[in-house]
Amino acid sequence: MPPASLYSDLMPDKTLFERIIDREIPSQIVYEDDDYIAIRDIAPKAPVHLLVIPKHVSARVDEITDAGEMGRLWLTAVRVAREHLSDYRLIVNVGSGGGQEVFHTHVHVLGGWEGAHPVGFGT
């Protein structure tokens, strides 16, 4: 394994979430296993706002073509959601036109409105 600085030089295009996974950027981690990490969103759009992120990088969720990989992502999102919330929304923004800002696939888990959730589908 090369030193961190050399690794950074070799990997100039690491995504923001890869940097979080590699502990180069601090975050509030609420779940982690070999394949996924879940963190609190830095700018929450709901009382509880988590991001479930696969460690295997794809830019957009529609790049995932393997049913097992897609299924494990959603099962992990549901597992994380249910650890924090009884009712919730799962949202994936796909492409800049779909509101995606970080091009490393992630599922938003939103909830905690306590009965008065906002209408519409915005995050």
Residues taking part in catalysis: 106
The two structure tokens encoding residue 73: 């992502």
The two structure tokens encoding residue 53: 């992120």
76 forms part of the interface with ligand AMP (CB under 6 A): no
10 forms part of the interface with ligand AMP (CB under 6 A): no
CB of 22 to ligand AMP, least distance (A): 13
Cα–Cα dist 32/28, whole Å: 11
Q: Out of 4, 6, 11, 25, point to the residue binding ligand AMP (CB under 6 A).
A: 25
Cα–Cα dist 37/51, whole Å: 8
Report 80-99 residues binding ligand AMP (CB under 6 A): 93, 99
Q: Out of 1, 43, 67, 119, point to the residue binding ligand AMP (CB under 6 A).
A: 43
Q: Out of 6, 29, 42, 75, point to the residue binding ligand AMP (CB under 6 A).
A: 42
SS3 assignment for 53-94: EECCCCCCHHHCCCHHHHHHHHHHHHHHHHHHCCCEEEECCC
27 forms part of the interface with ligand AMP (CB under 6 A): yes
CA dihedral 101, 107, 113, 116 (to 10 degrees): 80
Report 94-123 residues binding ligand AMP (CB under 6 A): 99-102
Residues that bind ligand AMP (CB under 6 A): 16, 25, 27, 39, 41-43, 51, 93, 99-102
